[in-house]
Amino acid sequence: MQIQPILAALKRHKAGTILIALQIALTLAIVCNALFIIKQRVTHLSRATGIDEQNILTVRNQWVGQPPSQQVIGLMATDLAALRQIPGVLDAYSTNSYPLRQGGWSEGLNYKPNQDHSTAHTAIYFSDEHTLNTLGLKLVEGRNFRADEIGHMDVRDKLGPPSIIVTRDLAHKLYPDGSALGKVLYLNDNSTTIVGVVERLEVPWVDNFAAPWAEQTTLVPVRLAMSVGGFYVIRTKPGELDSVEKSVSKTLYALNRMRVIDPKDGVERFSEVRAKAYARDRGMAILMGVVCVVLLAITAAGIVGLTSFWVGQRRKQIGVRRALGATHHDILSYFLTENLLISLAGVIIGALLAIGINIWMVNHFEMARLSLTYVVAGVVVLLLLGQAAVLAPALRASRVPPVEATRSV
């Protein structure tokens, strides 16, 4: 296939050529960045929390009349005993927060007391001996909390548990060279010993600020008895989630009326917690997906439209070429090559544009650097799209009979 005559022909359609190339460039730039955003969001929202999500219910219980912390200890114990009695419940415990709740407690862990800068940042989950079983956490080293180890505190008391269980990620951050088990650390200037290590457990936040320490979590053997209330986490036997969900509120209100469990979202399945936490990521991914599809469709349609026009305009010339011995195939490949040349120009500009836009977004928004894979993938997609779009008009062109050369308009 000779490129020279194609270029010569394109020179006579400068405006159309430039417009198609420009559109391909814009499409590539936007699609690359959109795909990259989708990929980032999907990676983010499919992160595992480390807990048995399918069988977990969370309950937000608020006390009425501000009972003092000492009284709340008893109220919580009664509630938990009743919850564990519900048929289908495997285990339950009370806590301040859980993964994806988007609100919680964080502290710094130190090697020494009175350290200026913390060694590791960690989320704190208030726990007891039922926590590992309820969340379905896998203990990889050490032991669970013992019942006699569990203390109590009010929200503004100083947190200083004698023992803690940490995630493997946190253990590795603290002691990269060996086992963390049995090591003594300082939490709020109180010494504490690592008695167990669990495989994986996410912090309550999914936002960027928590991303560097997303799996650095600490379980403390303390029940947080707040007069405002707190959370219960319940694990059901497989398949019993529905029935347990229905009876939780009833059971708790029957014990004690002076509480509030929001009828809308007081009792939530973990799948709902997950959907809420990642609503923004999911939304952004969908939005970008829609934009990509619309943009690719419009670009393809534009190529079809303009090429059809060109074919219509050049029927006579095509007829002449056919009369001079050009085959169907020659005509077909002429238009395919023409499109390829325009597309190539478009994707080169587009790739530069895509990288430029990304650099600008990195500087202005919390965005990561675009990986070149996306640019390459985008280039391939657009070249194929161009060829596919041009196929129908090109086939029509190849069927122009040689006799066309002899006809005037």
Partner 1 sequence: MFGYYLELALRSLRRSRGLTALMVLTIGFGVAASMTTYSVFRAVSGDPMPWKSSKLFVPQIDMWGPSGRGSDGEPPNAMDYTDAMKLMRDHRAKLQSAMYEISPSIVPADAGKHPIHVAGHAVYGEFFPMLDVPFKYGSSWNADDDAQRAAVTVISGKLSEKLFGSANSVGRTVNIEGRDYRVVGVLGDWNPQPRFYDVVNNGSGFATDTEDVFVPFLTAVQASIRNDGNTDCNVSQTESGFVGLQHSSCTWIAFMAELDDAATVTTYRQYLDGYAHDQQQAGRFGWAPNNRLRNLPEWLDYLHVVPSDTKVALLVAIGLLVACLVNTAGLLLAKFLRRSGEIGVRRALGAPRLAIYAQFLTEAGIVGLAGGVLGLLLTGMGVASVSWVLPRDIAALARVDLSLLVLTLLVAVMATTLAGLYPTYRAACVQPAWQLKSN
Q: Does 317 bind partner 1 (CB under 8 A)?
A: no
DSSP lists the bridge partners of residue 59 as 232, 267
Q: Does 19 bind partner 1 (CB under 8 A)?
A: yes
User: Site map for partner 1, 358-377, x if CB under 8 A?
Assistant: ---x---xxx----------
Tokens standing for residue 29: 């730039």
Q: Does 342 bind partner 1 (CB under 8 A)?
A: no
Task: Please state, in angstroms and rounded to a whole number, the distance separating the CA atoms of residues 247 and 93.
Answer: 17
- Least Cβ distance, residue 65 to partner 1 (angstroms): 4
Q: Does 254 bind partner 1 (CB under 8 A)?
A: no
Tokens standing for residue 246: 């229905």
Contacting partner 1 (CB under 8 A), which of 11, 12, 158, 329? 158
- Least Cβ distance, residue 188 to partner 1 (angstroms): 6
Please say whether the beta carbons of 259 and 228 come within 8 A.
no
CA distances in angstroms from 374 to 23, 275, 350, listed in the order given: 18, 27, 12
Q: Does 157 bind partner 1 (CB under 8 A)?
A: yes
DSSP lists the bridge partners of residue 153 as 224
Closest CA to 334 of 347, 320, 346: 320
Q: Which stretch binds partner 1 (CB under 8 A): 89-97, 231-239, 301-309, 337-345?
A: 301-309
Segments in 238-371 forming alpha helices (H): 241-255, 270-277, 279-313, 315-323, 328-364
DSSP 183: -
Q: How would DSSP label each residue in 234-275?
A: EEEPTT-HHHHHHHHHHHHHHH-SSEE--TTTTEEEHHHHHH
User: Site map for partner 1, 378-407, x if CB under 8 A?
Assistant: ------------------------------
Task: Please state, in angstroms and rounded to a whole number, the distance separating the CA atoms of residues 15 and 37.
Answer: 33
Contacting partner 1 (CB under 8 A), which of 10, 22, 336, 341? 22
DSSP 342: H
Contacting partner 1 (CB under 8 A), which of 294, 368, 380, 392? 294
DSSP 220: E
Q: How would DSSP label each residue in 73-97?
A: HHHHHHHHHHHHHSTTEEEEEEES-
Nearer CB in complex with partner 1: 181/367: 367
Contacting partner 1 (CB under 8 A), which of 89, 90, 225, 306? 306
User: Site map for partner 1, 216-235, x if CB under 8 A?
Assistant: -----------xx-------
Q: Which stretch binds partner 1 (CB under 8 A): 23-31, 71-79, 178-186, 398-406?
A: 23-31
Would you state the torsion angle of the CA atoms of residues 130, 133, 136, 139, taken in this order, to the nearest 10 degrees? 100
Contacting partner 1 (CB under 8 A), which of 286, 362, 380, 384? 286
Contacting partner 1 (CB under 8 A), which of 77, 260, 368, 376? 260
* Residues 57-116, interacting with partner 1 (CB under 8 A): 62-66, 102
The phi, psi pair for 371, rounded to 5°, reads: -85, 145
Nearer CB in complex with partner 1: 95/299: 299
- Least Cβ distance, residue 361 to partner 1 (angstroms): 7
Nearer CB in complex with partner 1: 1/279: 279
Q: How many CB atoms lie within 10 A of CB 31?
A: 25
Nearer CB in complex with partner 1: 33/216: 33
Q: Does 40 bind partner 1 (CB under 8 A)?
A: no
Task: Please state, in angstroms and rounded to a whole number, the distance separating the CA atoms of residues 279 and 272.
Answer: 10
Q: If DSSP states are collapsed to H, E and C, what string results for 152-204?
A: EECCCCCCCCCEEEEEHHHHHHHCCCCCCCCCEEEECCEEEEEEEEECCCCCC
Site residues (vs partner 1, CB under 8 A): 15-16, 19-20, 22-23, 26-27, 29-30, 33-34, 37, 62-66, 102, 154, 156-158, 188, 227-228, 253, 257-260, 262, 279-280, 282-284, 286-288, 290-291, 294-295, 298-299, 301-302, 305-306, 309-310, 312-313, 361, 365-367, 408-409
